[in-house]
């Protein structure tokens, strides 16, 4: 009997040990808004000397100011704890009109240029004491200031002499959710949609508020709730009630809601026989629909539209052009202050032109024909969110039509929520790229923030990686991309390194060794993913359908959805010739760009095979032949991921067990996936190069037939699996 009891005690101990770790662990739900108690006694003491009671006039009953006070109180309670009876100076927050006359006069110059969303967080002297003031010209600015102040504390930065101020460079900073009304999410692998449409508007899930908090904390002020492959049902009154319930929740955090508009909605839900944008009945239907939407949602932001692309209906179905379609919707929204974001991701396999060229050809001829509240929403590159793309030639090419930048936060072509890929450096490549359309310094960033051509409206959009996974993004480190998008949307000049450090400190801890190590992981991740999947300018060689793994052999179906269309490998070489001797897509860029990228000796190695068909024997800057360099790049990517596994293991004692274990497992899978990418691609391309695998590169473990016949089933986010 005693032995049985002993066995049971041992079993109970085994069970309780991992359970105790789980209780102490973190599931990632709080993202970067953790507000963990500051354990460093010196830092906490220095804060307690300065941070006293919160002073705020809530008599105006502003929902955004109320949210700001609640967030500040929650943050201070979590970070510092009880301040009851503190004799420290107060923290004052509110719009500048409510500041004392003396203080207001001292701050007027600083507030003047902050606009409607800017913030000022400052330590000031107001006799007989010093105090922290968080202010702006609007309550939305105050809310942003609170999040910035709490970020400052989370990172253990000093308060004395604090003077923080900023205003956004881009006015509309939006997440685009590719969420379907069925709660599936296209191309996002972090679970199902966070919108529980069936329960709305009767039950408001708590996570809707936490989603809004997370967005507001990084300056995101808009969200498109539905997939660009749109469903007209969302425009029905039954669903507008649901959208209104979300809008009511988000409004307290300065976030407006937008919807995708299916162009054929007048037929599908309106009972009309046509959706021709020049038909008076169609125009009247959209005018009435806009009025109806605004009766539910007075601050509705507008429509995002995907038309005449990948099977979606549009104005070209009726012999009209994109300006005709966009302007019809713009007229309906204009009286209410709404905007239309018209996606420039249009291409047609019936058009016998390089897919890279089609959007430029389509929209440059329409420049000046769009109404002022229409923006062209352009992907960072001309193909489709590849691991690395040269900037889209359309940027800056429509000086009379505002342009918005579309980035993909979810990693459709970079391993979904399984692979670590910090995307801020890639986005910075695009934002900092000089288009030369109006002389040197005509960067993509200046095009989209409106400063280059003095646009009235400016916008940036990020395709969300959020799902109903407990930690929101699946991979615990994928939230860094949500965070980075918001920070760059606010100010596209922020350094990727600074964003990585902020996110790491707030999401994990401030331990110097840990922060530097995780920063290194993040900053090395995107180059590694490019190396083991599509190096040297290779693109669109992923598996068909789900896009998760390699498929350079894919050659079935419409040509512009195959891999062979893009890599064009043969016994001579590899790469897509987009110079004058090929498709001449290069002609769509400015002269300065053409001069550099048109020469295989001058172009950055990262874009070489994007624009040139290069001989296998071509000598690279390293001295290697192209074939050897290609092989070595694939191996370099694999080696880098292997290094991460060891690097992360060394941090085991500096992070909670739950998140450490999950990231450990994901890095292990990423390493195996990287090997698979390398082996599959090199096995296939070797059939053309007919050259040996060079020294330093591990030979493929299996034959090409194995890789070509390998199938993944039911991959999350695959549109074919969602209905």
Provide the residue range defining the domain that includes 192: 172-493
Same domain for 206 and 158: no
Q: What is the pLDDT of residue 592?
A: 98
Record the pTM: 0.96
CATH number at residue 678: 3.90.1330.10
Confidence category of residue 708, pLDDT binned at 50, 70, 90 = very high
pLDDT digits (tens, 9 = 90+) for 709-722: 999 999 999 998 86
The DSSP output letter for 452 is T
In a shared domain, residues 656 and 683: yes
Specify the pLDDT at position 23: 37
Residue 84 lies in a domain: yes
Mean pLDDT of 305-332: 98
pLDDT mean across residues, the chain: 94
Residue 9's pLDDT is 39
Statement: residue 5 has pLDDT above 70? no
Asked if 147 and 177 sit in the same domain, the reply is no
475-514 pLDDT per residue, tens:
999 999 999 999 999 999 999 999 999 999 999 999 999 9
In a domain? residue 520: no
- For residue 15, pLDDT over 70 is answered with no
Same domain membership, residue 292 and residue 217: yes
Counts of helices then strands in the chain (DSSP H, E): 22, 15
Whether residues 186 and 225 share a domain: the answer is yes
- Here the CATH number for the domain that contains residue 419 is 3.20.20.80
Rounded Cα distance, 293 and 692, in Å: 63
Tell me the C-alpha to C-alpha distance, in Å, between residue 568 and each of 225, 258, 442, 538, 669: 38, 40, 33, 10, 30
Contact 425, 464 (CB under 8 A): no
- The answer on 285 and 139 residing in a single domain is no
Per-residue b or e along 44-57, where b marks 16 or more CB atoms closer than 10 Å to that residue's CB: eebbbebbbebebe
Angle subtended at Cα 582 by Cα 580 and Cα 583, rounded to the nearest 5 degrees: 90
Among residues 166, 189, 216, the one where a domain terminates is 166
Sequence-distant (6+) residues with CB within 8 A of 192 are 183, 184, 185, 467, 468
For 82, the token pair is: 């009880």
Residues 251 and 330 in one domain: yes
Does pLDDT of 328 surpass 60?
yes
**Which residue among 442, 474, 493 closes a domain?**
493
Query: If DSSP codes are grouped into helix, strand and coil, which group holds residue 460?
Result: strand
Burial 99-126 (b: 16+ CB within 10 A, else e): beeebeeebeeebeebeebbbbbbbbeb
pLDDT value at residue 19: 45
Structure tokens belonging to residue 193: 């949609």
Residue 523 has pLDDT above 90, yes or no: yes
- Ramachandran angles phi, psi of 209, nearest 5°: -65, -40
Quote the tokens at residue 149.
Answer: 């102040």
C-alpha distance from residue 578 to each of 173, 228, 558, 604, 623 (Å) = 33, 29, 20, 15, 25
With a cut of 80, say whether residue 33 has pLDDT above it: yes
Which residues are paired to 524 by β-bridges? none
Q: Is residue 636 part of a domain?
A: yes
Residues 202, 233, single domain; the answer is yes
- Report which DSSP code applies to 90: P
Token duo for residue 128 = 């007989």
User: How far apart are the two ends of the chain, measured CA to CA in Å?
Assistant: 57
Q: Which of 123, 310, 348, 587 is catalytic?
A: 310
pLDDT for 18 beyond 50: no
635 burial level (CB within 10 Å; 0-12, 13-18, 19+)? buried
DSSP helix/strand/coil, 339: strand
- Asked whether residue 84 carries a pLDDT value surpassing 80, the answer given is no
* Residue 486, pLDDT score: 99
State the Cα–Cα distance between residues 289 and 307, nearest whole angstrom: 19
Q: Tell me: do 115 and 194 sit in the same domain.
A: no
Average pLDDT over residues 692-716: 97
Cα separation, 208 vs 89, in Å, equals 34
SS3 439: strand
Is 600 within the bounds of a domain? Answer: no
Q: Indicate whether 230 belongs to any domain.
A: yes
Structure tokens at 55: 């002073």
Q: How far apart are the C-alpha atoms of 207 and 185, rounded to whole Å?
A: 17
Asked if the structure places residue 9 within a domain, the reply is: no
Shared domain check, 156 and 223:
no
The label of the residue with tokens 């001292």 reads 106
* The pLDDT of residue 616 is above 70: yes
pLDDT in tens, 396-438: 999 999 999 999 999 999 999 999 999 999 999 999 999 999 9
Asked if pLDDT for residue 8 goes beyond 60, the answer is no
- Asked if the model's pLDDT at residue 13 lies above 80, the reply is no
User: Do 203 and 250 fall within a single domain?
Assistant: yes
Number of compact structural domains in the chain: 3
Q: What tokens were used for 173?
A: 């900073």
Would you call 310 a catalytic residue per the annotation? yes
CATH code assigned at 146: 3.30.379.10
What the block records as the tokens of 502 is 């902020």
Q: How confident is the model at residue 103 (pLDDT cuts 50, 70, 90)?
A: low
193-199: long-range contacts, CB 8 A cutoff, minimum separation 24 = 193/467, 193/468, 194/466, 194/467, 194/468, 194/472, 195/225, 195/246, 197/239, 197/242
User: pLDDT tens across 332-346, in order?
Assistant: 999 999 999 999 999
Residue tagged active-site, from 412, 449, 502, 628: 412
Cis peptide bond N-terminal to 426, omega within 30: no
pLDDT for 3:
43
On the question of pLDDT at 148 being above 60, the answer is yes
Domain stop point among 166, 186, 206: 166
Residue 238, token pair as written in the block? 């039954």
Task: Note whether 489 and 634 are same-domain residues.
Answer: no
What's the rounded mean pLDDT across residues 608-635?
98
Angle among Cα 349, 231, 365 to the nearest 5 degrees reads 40
Provide the pLDDT for residue 16: 41
pLDDT in tens, 260-300: 999 999 999 999 999 999 999 999 999 999 999 999 999 99
Give a yes or no: residue 518 inside a domain. Answer: no
Angle subtended by helix axes 280-296 and 237-251, to nearest 10: 50
Q: Decide if 484 is inside a domain.
A: yes
Please state the length of the chain: 723
Considering the candidates 21, 36, 384, 656, report the single residue annotated as catalytic. 384
């Amino acid at each position: 009997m005693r032995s049985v009891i002993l066995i049971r005690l041992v079993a109970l101990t085994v069970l309780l040990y991992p359970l105790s770790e789980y209780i102490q662990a973190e599931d990632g739900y709080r993202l970067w808004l953790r507000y963990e108690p500051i354990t460093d006694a010196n830092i906490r003491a220095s804060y307690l000397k300065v941070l006293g009671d919160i002073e705020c006039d809530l008599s105006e009953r502003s929902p955004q100011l109320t949210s700001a006070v609640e967030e500040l109180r929650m943050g201070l309670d979590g970070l510092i704890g009880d301040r009851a009876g503190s004799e420290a100076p107060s923290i004052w927050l509110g719009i500048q009109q409510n500041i004392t006359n003396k203080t207001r006069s001292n701050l007027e110059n600083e507030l003047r240029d902050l606009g409607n969303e800017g913030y000022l967080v400052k330590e000031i002297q107001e006799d007989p004491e010093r105090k922290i003031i968080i202010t702006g010209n609007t309550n939305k600015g105050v809310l942003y200031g609170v999040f910035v102040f709490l970020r400052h504390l989370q990172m253990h930065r000093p308060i004395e002499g604090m003077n923080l101020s900023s205003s956004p460079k881009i006015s509309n900073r939006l997440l685009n959710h590719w969420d379907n009304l069925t709660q599936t999410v296209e191309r996002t692998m972090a679970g199902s949609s966070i919108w529980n449409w069936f329960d709305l508007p009767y039950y408001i899930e708590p996570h809707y508020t936490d989603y809004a908090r997370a967005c507001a904390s990084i300056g995101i002020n808009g969200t498109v709730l539905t997939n660009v492959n749109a469903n007209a049902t969302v425009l029905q009154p039954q669903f507008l009630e649901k959208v209104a319930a979300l809008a009511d929740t988000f409004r307290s955090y300065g976030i407006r809601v937008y919807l995708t508009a299916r162009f054929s909605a007048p037929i599908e839900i309106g009972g009309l026989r046509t959706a021709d944008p020049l038909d008076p009945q169609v125009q009247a239907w959209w005018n009435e629909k806009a009025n109806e939407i605004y009766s539910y949602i007075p601050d509705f932001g507008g429509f995002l539209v995907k038309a005449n692309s990948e099977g979606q209906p549009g104005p070209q179905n009726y012999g009209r052009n994109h300006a005709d379609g966009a302007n019809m919707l713009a007229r309906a929204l204009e009286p209410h202050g709404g905007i239309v974001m018209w996606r420039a991701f249009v291409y047609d396999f019936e058009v016998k032109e390089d897919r890279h060229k089609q959007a430029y050809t389509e929209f440059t001829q329409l420049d000046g024909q769009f109404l002022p509240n229409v923006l062209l929403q352009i992907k960072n590159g001309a193909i489709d969110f590849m691991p690395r793309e040269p900037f889209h030639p359309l940027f800056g090419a429509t000086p009379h039509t505002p342009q918005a930048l579309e980035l993909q936060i979810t990693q459709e072509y970079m391993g979904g929520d399984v692979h670590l890929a910090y995307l801020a450096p890639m986005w910075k490549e695009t934002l900092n790229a000089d288009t030369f359309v109006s002389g040197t310094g005509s960067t993509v960033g200046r095009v989209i923030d409106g400063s280059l051509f003095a646009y009235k409206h400016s916008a940036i959009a990020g395709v969300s990686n959020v799902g109903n996974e407990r930690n929101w993004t699946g991979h615990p480190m994928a939230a860094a991309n949500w965070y980075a998008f918001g920070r760059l949307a606010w100010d596209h000049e922020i350094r990727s390194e600074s964003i990585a450090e902020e996110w790491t400190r707030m999401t994990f801890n401030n331990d110097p060794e840990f922060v530097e190590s995780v920063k290194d992981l993040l900053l090395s991740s995107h180059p590694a993913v490019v190396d083991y999947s599509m190096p040297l300018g290779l693109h669109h060689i992923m598996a068909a359908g789900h896009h998760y793994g390699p498929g350079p052999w894919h050659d079935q179906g419409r040509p512009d959805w195959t891999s062979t269309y893009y890599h064009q490998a043969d016994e001579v070489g590899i790469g897509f010739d987009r110079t004058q001797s090929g498709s001449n897509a290069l002609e769509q860029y400015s002269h300065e760009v053409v001069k550099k990228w048109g020469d295989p000796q001058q172009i950055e190695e990262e874009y070489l095979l994007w624009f040139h068909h290069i001989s296998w024997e071509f000598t690279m800057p390293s001295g290697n032949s192209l074939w050897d360099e290609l092989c070595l790049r694939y191996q370099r990517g694999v080696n880098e991921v292997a290094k991460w596994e060891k690097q992360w293991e060394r941090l085991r004692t500096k992070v909670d067990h739950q998140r450490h274990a999950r990231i450990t497992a994901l890095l292990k899978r990423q390493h195996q996936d990287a090997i698979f990418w390398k082996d599959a691609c090199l096995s296939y391309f070797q059939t053309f190069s007919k050259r040996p695998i060079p020294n330093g590169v591990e030979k493929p473990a299996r034959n090409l037939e194995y890789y070509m016949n390998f199938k993944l089933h039911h991959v999350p986010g695959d549109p074919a699996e969602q209905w």
